[in-house]
Amino acid sequence: QGLKPLVPTESPGPHPIFGTSKPAPGLSATDTFLGTNKVPDLQKVFQRSDGLPVHLKRGYPDKMLYRTTMALTIGGTFYCLVALYIASLPK
């Protein structure tokens, strides 16, 4: 009988091929299928010297996430301290 070949006999189909610089099957070489490169724009935002920490550079959404995180952290700490105090009371 022998061993079967490891090479698939059918084509991979319309699925994109990852890990290659070739365009996906069905797209011409001039089509952009990955979108625009946003890295240079983000580098300008994050490297600007405006005195803000990097986790607050993108404005209002970053401020809201930071404040929410701080509120949950302080609230959780307070909750733990109260729970420990209540647990230490004599019964």
Residue 19 pLDDT > 90, yes or no? no
Q: Answer with the residue of higher pLDDT: 68 or 3.
A: 68
Cβ neighbour number for residue 66 with a 10 Å cutoff = 13
Q: How far is residue 86 from each of residues 4, 6, 89, 90, 91, measured CA to CA in Å?
A: 70, 67, 5, 9, 10
From the candidate CATH numbers 4.10.91.10, 1.10.15.40, 1.10.150.650, 3.30.390.50, the one assigned to the domain spanning 51-88: 4.10.91.10
pLDDT tens-digit readout, 33-90: 567 888 899 899 999 899 999 889 989 999 999 999 999 999 999 999 999 999 999 9
Domain map (residue ranges) of the chain? 51-88
pTM more than 0.85: no
